[in-house]
Amino acid sequence: MLGFTFCSNEFARGRGYLKFRRADSFNFDDIWGLISGIYQSNSGGFNTETFCLEVTTVSIPHGKGKAPR
């Protein structure tokens, strides 16, 4: 599972994010659509020097939770 967060000190409306999904379900259009939306919401544009992209990965446990013997 992956989640993306986009941030900058200059964002007028706060962070942008893509909710957690399976890694194989993300594509370029998802990420580019979010970046475009953030840019349009901040009509003055944003400085790429303060732009950050945070990727969070989560491994989902498998099985019943019992330790193997």
pLDDT classification of 1: cutoffs 50, 70, 90: very high
Residue 10 has pLDDT above 90, yes or no: no
pLDDT tens for each residue of 11-67:
777 788 888 999 899 888 988 888 788 777 765 655 666 778 889 999 888 777 777
Question: Count of CB atoms within 10 A of residue 33's CB?
Answer: 12
Say which residue the tokens 């475009």 belong to: 36
pLDDT for 20: 92
Domain ranges of the chain: 2-57
Where residue 8 falls among pLDDT bands split at 50, 70, 90?
Answer: confident
